[in-house]
Amino acid sequence: MSKIKLALVGCGGMGTRHLYGMRELLASPFNNIEPVGVCDIRLENAELAASEAETLFGYKPAVFTDMETMAVAIPDLDAVSVVTDPSVHHTVVCRALELGWHVMVEKPMAITVGACRMMIDTAARHSRILSVAENYRRDPSARLIRHILEKEWIGKPYLAWCHALGGGNTIFITPWRHIKDKGGPILDMGVHYTDLIRYQLGDIAEVYGDARLLEKLRYKPESIGDQYTFYQNRHRAMEESVPATAEDVSVALFRMESGIMVNWIMGRGGTGGIGGEMILCEEGQIASYGTRGGRAEIQRKGKDKEGHEALVEMASDFELEPLAAHFFPDCIGAENVDWRLIALEYFELGEAILHGRQVELDGLEGLKDVAAVYAILESSLAGRSVSMQEIEACQVYGYQQEIDEALGIPG
Ligand SMILES: NC(=O)c1ccc[n+]([C@@H]2O[C@H](COP(=O)([O-])OP(=O)(O)OC[C@H]3O[C@@H](n4cnc5c(N)ncnc54)[C@H](O)[C@@H]3O)[C@@H](O)[C@H]2O)c1
């Protein structure tokens, strides 16, 4: 089978997890990638990633600290996977496209809607593929629920909610996740959920939102519950406290183009928490889908709840794509789900380059997910509801303007 030559750019926490995702694909009968390089502006991060890769792949990819040197050293490189912090997605992705590579970039696609537009234009100018890595929608439970909604098993949806609020004042994974022009927690987490909402319920028409910064100082957590060496090293080196500039709690109401109402509570700060997603339909309700390893549940009007296994049994016309079915034969994102969802993203990129498969989240889809999060923050600043049209066209831009000015992004 032909394979694309691939390099990882950005070898931090998620970059490390990408290596495990690549390993899952390499070990499958569907493999269509050949990882050949790792690149990070911090040499120690690139070297650690190369050593991890050696253990995982059985060979060591070449190490780089800049993409120009990598382009000379690997002239037949097909694509890069950009897993840097979001404040540099646009500069790294645009440079990679100019160097002639196809690109997959981690969510959020970019730090502002203007930055997303730069990336879309550059990809079009260079006729390269631009794919956004968004894993939640690839979970088998998200696929199953989308199928059930499409088939209208329990009628049409009219109301949904999406809640992911956790309290506390510790540093959320990395210090940069608390800085407005690096990608605050609402953008970093929220974009998973704007994508899921749009995936299940279609495009958003209008948003009323409000957001607050509750925890102005963030503290180093006592431990980091992650086994990866990179996360452990970073935890040891982490500063004791970080001043926060990005909002950490948000509330919103989305009116979908279909007329469905969606309630949103999202963030990381303050004293309380709430979690879970629900879609209410004419003939019943759906819960517990989407996030990695989710197990969907349906309750039809006046009936007992039906769990994930029963739904799979009933959905005889539902099929996962072949690689997903190989990874998740019971249609449950169980074993190694984090890595295997990443493997699905790489497989799709390979197929797009080798055989012209359409990528599921192209630049425009990635932009819509980012724009939906900013609609909340723009609405909060403007003190009125905003239409997605004005956010996507950058007509309402007060909140993002400050970020663009700080990063030199043309608004
Ligand atoms: N899909 C998911 O579930 C998920 C989970 C975590 C993170 N992410 C996303 O992955 C991305 C990275 O997050 P992270 O937690 O790994 O951040 P991180 O800070 O741990 O890692 C970022 C890495 O990028 C490197 N870097 C910065 N600028 C660079 C440049 N110009 N060229 C090359 N390397 C550069 C840094 O040195 C660092 O090693 C973010 O977009 C984040 O939202 C996604």
Ligand 1, residue 16: give the atom nearest the CA. Answer: 16
Q: Looking at residues 170-187, what average pLDDT do you find?
A: 94
User: Quick check: 99 pLDDT over 90?
Assistant: yes
- Name the burial class of residue 259, with classes exposed (0-12), middle (13-18) and buried (19+) by CB atoms within 10 angstroms of its CB: exposed
For the chain, give the mean pLDDT.
95
Q: At how many degrees (to 10) do helices 113-125 and 363-382 cross?
A: 160
The answer for residues whose C-beta is within 8 angstroms of residue 58's C-beta and 6 or more apart is none
User: Quick check: 197 pLDDT over 70?
Assistant: yes
From the CA of 386, how far away is ligand 1's center (Å)? 30
Mutation probe of ligand 1 site: the residue of 8, 9, 14, 344 with most atoms within 8 A of C-beta: 14
From the CA of 175, how far away is ligand 1's center (Å)? 12
Peptide bond into 185 cis (omega under 30): no
Which pLDDT score, from 0 to 100, does residue 1 have?
A: 61
Going from the N-terminus, what domains does the chain have, and what CATH number goes with each? Answer: 4-136 (3.40.50.720), 137-333 (3.30.360.10)
Secondary structure (3-state) at 9 = strand
Element holding 276 (H helix, E strand): strand 274-281
Give CA–CA dist 402/225, Å, rounded. Answer: 34
Which pLDDT score, from 0 to 100, does residue 314 have?
A: 87
Give CA–CA dist 263/399, Å, rounded. Answer: 22
From the CA of 153, how far away is ligand 1's center (Å)? 40
- Tokens 């991890």 appear where? 52
Which pLDDT score, from 0 to 100, does residue 328 have?
A: 96
**Residue/partner pairs of 118-121 with CB below 8 Å, 24 or more apart:** 118/90, 118/94, 118/409, 118/410, 119/89, 119/90, 119/93, 119/94, 119/363, 120/363, 120/364, 120/367
Percent of the chain residues past pLDDT 90, beyond the cut? 90
Q: pLDDT per residue over 102-124, tens digit each? A: 999 999 999 999 999 999 999 99
Where residue 7 falls (left for φ over 0; alpha for ψ -120 to 50; beta otherwise) is beta
Ligand 1, residue 230: give the atom nearest the CA. Answer: 20
User: Quick check: 56 pLDDT over 80?
Assistant: yes
User: Quick check: 166 pLDDT over 90?
Assistant: yes
Q: pLDDT per residue over 33-45, tens digit each? A: 999 999 999 999 9
From the CA of 208, how far away is ligand 1's center (Å)? 30
Q: pLDDT per residue over 354-368, tens digit each? A: 999 999 999 999 999
CA–centroid distance for 119 within its chain:
16
Strand pairing report for 297-300 and 217-219: unpaired
Q: pLDDT per residue over 283-336, tens digit each? A: 999 987 777 888 899 999 999 999 999 999 988 899 999 999 999 999 998 889
Pocket of ligand 1 (CB under 6 A): 9-15, 39-42, 45, 83-86, 88, 92, 106-107, 135, 173-174, 188
CA–centroid distance for 291 within its chain:
11
